[in-house]
């Protein structure tokens, strides 16, 4: 199996189009055309992780955080990033990062976080905006079903928990072909007027090339009339953070002790207790101070995230409980999920969970 075949599986799990614009995801180091010897899955692709990959005969490291985040002007081994990259290149080890591509997936980081706490009725906290587009096209009635099905197969027509969604309306189409035309119906220079079906479907923007390929392949006409619109609505199944409910309400103190145990936290920093109970829980793995207002607007009783600064705890405004459980801790089980996913998709191949703890934060 070549590395590029494994990458295809990884992109099914975490489509790169889901990643935030600032992020650096995908294949960061290595040649995708070489044969894979094994996959080592980790949280951070540090130098000791590369050593582990060498020892376990894995030439592909799949990490959550990208070891290469911003541009490098020199690679001299002067810091931990450069040393890891140099060692990976010297030993022909590829590095692939998923990061916010998995953060934004409805089954990704924040669903993993929510499941660890036993939350139910979960939904995306901050749905991704400007990610949905609409295709409008026109065809003869005899071609409509075949064309719709081709568009569905290419990924169009998915809305929330529903698939194969479209809107179809009847109308009258007209055209007249010139000397270079080869019309499906009628002759050159003949004015043709006939029944047509207008088909409208929505799709995720990264699927546009695939959608258009299906459109042109399955459409009955020589010249395909179509329109694509960028929609302003939100994608309810793609986005950052998650909000859900506890099966049984807890006091605030009991809940934080519960979180500390479940997420194996060295400590939890939190805002003032408000005196209420915890039922509705918002989570965002990693640095999530930007979503405090979203958690409040969503009616959360508590917001669990990481990397909160001193003054950001004031933003709780006694409207909810803010809790910083630690960056690594909030993403703790992500690598386990990646391993389980790959083992289900790639049978009879070594997919290894790293034994190294890459959390740089220690507690007394």
Token pair for 71:
């541009």
Q: List the binding residues for a divalent metal cation.
A: 65, 103, 327, 331
Instruction: Kindly give, in sequence order, each residue whose CB lies less than 8 Å from that of residue 356, ignoring residues fewer than 6 positions away.
Output: 42, 46, 48, 49, 52
Q: Residue 302's beta-bridge partner residues?
A: 281, 321
Give CA angle at 58 (73, 44), nearest 5°: 50
C-alpha span between 114 and 122 (Å, rounded):
8
Closest of 102, 24, 109, 132 to residue 283, by C-alpha: 109
Q: Tell me the C-alpha distance between 268 and 324, whole Å.
A: 6
Pairwise CA distance, residues 151 & 36, whole Å: 34
Binding-site entries = 65, 103, 327, 331
**What CA–CA distance (Å, rounded) separates 23 from 37?**
28
3-class SS of residue 278: strand
Q: Three-class SS of residue 316?
A: helix
Residue 203 near residue 157 (C-beta atoms within 8 A) = yes
Task: Judge whether 312 and 343 are in contact, CB under 8 Å.
Answer: no
> How far apart, in whole angstroms, are the C-alpha atoms of residue 353 and residue 355?
6
What is d(CA 208, CA 206) in angstroms, rounded to the nearest whole number? 6
Sign of CA dihedral 249, 252, 253, 258: positive
Cα separation, 202 vs 303, whole angstroms = 33
Alpha helices per DSSP H over 141-291: 141-153, 208-218, 252-262
Work out the burial of residue 363: count CB atoms within 10 Å of its CB; fewer than 13 is exposed, 13-18 middle, 19 or more buried.
exposed
């Amino acid at each position: 199996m070549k590395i590029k075949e494994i990458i295809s599986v990884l992109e099914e799990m975490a489509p790169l189009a889901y990643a935030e614009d600032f992020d650096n995801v995908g294949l960061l180091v290595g040649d995708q055309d070489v044969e894979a010897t094994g996959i080592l899955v980790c949280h951070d692709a540090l130098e000791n992780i590369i050593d582990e990959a060498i020892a376990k005969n894995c030439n592909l490291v799949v990490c959550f955080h990208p070891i290469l985040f911003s541009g490098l002007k020199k690679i001299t081994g002067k810091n931990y990033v450069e040393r890891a990259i140099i060692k990976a290149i010297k030993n022909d080890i590829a590095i692939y990062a998923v990061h916010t591509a998995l953060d934004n997936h409805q089954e990704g980081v924040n669903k993993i976080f929510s499941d660890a706490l036993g939350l139910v009725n979960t939904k995306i906290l901050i749905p991704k905006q400007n990610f949905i587009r609409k295709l409008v096209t026109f065809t003869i009635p005899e071609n409509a079903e075949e064309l719709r099905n081709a568009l569905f197969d290419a990924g169009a027509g998915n809305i929330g928990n529903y698939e194969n969604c479209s809107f179809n309306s009847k109308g009258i189409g007209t055209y007249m072909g010139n000397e270079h035309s080869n019309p499906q119906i009628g002759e050159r220079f003949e004015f043709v007027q006939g029944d047509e079906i207008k088909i409208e479907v929505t799709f995720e923007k990264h699927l546009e090339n695939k959608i258009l390929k299906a459109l042109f392949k399955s459409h009955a006409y020589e010249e395909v009339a179509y329109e694509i619109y960028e929609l302003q609505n939100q994608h309810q199944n793609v986005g950052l953070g998650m909000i859900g409910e506890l099966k049984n309400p807890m006091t605030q103190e009991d809940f934080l002790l519960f979180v500390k145990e479940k997420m194996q936290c060295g400590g939890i920093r939190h805002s003032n207790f408000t005196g209420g109970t915890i039922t509705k829980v918002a989570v965002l793995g990693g640095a999530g101070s930007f979503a405090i207002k979203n958690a409040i607007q969503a009616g959360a009783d508590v917001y669990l995230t990481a990397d909160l600064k001193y003054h950001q705890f004031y933003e709780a405004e006694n409207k909810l409980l803010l809790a910083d459980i630690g960056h690594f801790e909030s993403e703790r089980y992500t690598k386990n999920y990646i391993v389980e996913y790959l083992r289900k998709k790639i049978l009879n191949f070594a997919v290894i969970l790293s034994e190294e703890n890459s959390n740089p934060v220690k507690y007394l």
